Amino acid sequence: MGPIAPADLAAALGALRAGALVAFPTETVYGLGADARNPAAVRRIFAVKGRPASHPVIVHLQSARELPAWARRVPREAERLAEQFWPGPLTLVLPRAPGVDDSVTGGQDTVAVRVPAHPVAQQLLAAFGGGIAAPSANRYGRLSPTRAEHVREELGAAVSVVLDGGDCPIGLESTIVAFQEGRARLLRPGRITAGEIRALLGTLQIGADAASPRVPGSTAAHYAPATPLEVLPTEALEARSAALAQAGRRVAVLAWRAPQAALAAVTWIDASAQPERYGHDLYAHLRELDQRGCERILVQEVPQGDEWEAIRDRLRRAAVGAAAPGETP
Ligand code: TXA
Ligand code: MG
């Protein structure tokens, strides 16, 4: 017996085998899963998310032993990362094995794979006995869900089964690493930091270049609430929230201390000064602020440093994604 109730496990397996979708918790965010060997099922993910078909999805595996079925070659550097960090919040982009469908890879010659550590994901993968293709279980371009209720609110009846594992422990998407001629390149920062990877491999290139596999999740506008969002240094945030509130506009603030303009028009959430906690709460906080019907979300700039990098990255994208086109704030 694992953490999934037997009836829920049976429903999830039945759905996967029938080509339907199952949302499940991972240590990072909730995934929207389909049988990775069933192209029609994988295409259903795209339809439900409203995501362009050219965007590849991550294949979740129960263990690294399944890699040969998905990757035709595993560079030594990738092996070392897998040994060190799997199961865990790390995705490796590898040359795809023959037979991995274009619906999974977006037609690219690479496939993204990850072995999640969450006990619910592990139990589901073990029982299913195959790869589960799963992007984050949100609509295209929106915030990733970190609770089962986020998935239900956003995707509703389109998902046959939602396995509830409570809050995702990390709350931000996995670190993604690709390899070119054996050289590792960080495509998306996450809980596993650039420093940790560099310590293991000796080198790491940062960010996509022209030759990198496409990571559409790294298009600037992504992970966004619907309300326009700005990231500001402390003093600028004080001034901006006061000015907006005085102009009679409702403002939502995510910061370490209440803006001095503690006005009725300002809704405020106290952010954690600890990066693990901040990351764990970030999407839930933004969802909550998004639902307050404010005209703007103001976020206090977070510190520099490796352990804040994934948070900085998601805030940057949220700011771009949430700004209305052509708008001058
Ligand atoms: O933590 C996570 O990674 C979560 C959980 C559910 O595992 N999944 C997730 O999936 O964030 P998604 O689809 O929202 O983001 C995956 C990113 C996308 O930006 C996608 O473009 C990129 O991985 N990706 C997938 N396959 C790729 C490939 N073959 N080459 C380059 N990037 C790839
Ligand atoms: Mg996503």
Measured from the CA of 57, which atom of ligand 1 is nearest? 25
pLDDT of residue 261: 57
| pLDDT tier for residue 254 given thresholds of 50, 70 and 90 | very high
pLDDT digits (tens, 9 = 90+) for 65-96: 999 999 999 999 999 999 999 999 999 999 99
Residue type at 70 in one-letter notation: W
- Residues of the chain above pLDDT 90, percent: 83
The two counts, helices (H) then strands (E), for the chain are: 10, 14
Model confidence at 214: pLDDT above 90: no
pLDDT digits (tens, 9 = 90+) for 268-306: 999 999 999 999 999 999 999 999 999 999 999 999 999
Measured from the CA of 96, which atom of ligand 1 is nearest? 29
Mean pLDDT of 230-244: 93
Model confidence at 328: pLDDT above 80: no
Pocket-testing residue among 54, 159, 176, 179, ligand 1, by greatest number of atoms within 8 A of Cβ: 176
Domains of the chain: 6-206 (3.90.870.10), 229-321 (3.40.50.11030)
Ligand nearest to the CA of 55: 1
| pLDDT tier for residue 181 given thresholds of 50, 70 and 90 | confident
> Is the CB of residue 141 below 6 angstroms from any atom belonging to ligand 1?
no
> Is the CB of residue 95 below 6 angstroms from any atom belonging to ligand 1?
no
Angle at 236 between CA 273 and CA 226, to 5 degrees: 75
Burial 93-126 (b: 16+ CB within 10 A, else e): bbbbeeebbebbbbebebbbbbbbbbebbbbbbe
- Residues of the chain above pLDDT 70, percent: 93
Q: Of 5-14, 48-57, 155-164, 208-217, give the lowest mean pLDDT range.
A: 208-217
d(CA 188, ligand 1 centre) in Å: 9
Q: Of 51-55, 71-75, 259-263, give the lowest mean pLDDT range.
A: 259-263
Q: Is 92 exposed, middle or buried (0-12, 13-18, 19+ CB in 10 A)?
A: buried
- Residue nearest (by alpha carbon) to ligand 1 atom 29: 111
186, 175 contact by CB (below 8 A) = yes
Pocket-testing residue among 54, 108, 173, 186, ligand 1, by greatest number of atoms within 8 A of Cβ: 173
pLDDT digits (tens, 9 = 90+) for 306-317: 999 999 999 999
pTM over 0.85: yes
Distance CA 162, CA 51 (A): 20
- Residue nearest (by alpha carbon) to ligand 1 atom 7: 31
Q: What is the 3-class SS of 48-117, one letter each residue?
A: HHCCCCCCCCEEECCCHHHHHHCECCCCHHHHHHHHHHCCCCEEEEEEECCCCCHHHHCCCCEEEEECCC
Neighbours of 243 (CB within 10 A): 12
Distance CA 171, CA 182 (A): 30
pLDDT of residue 25: 98
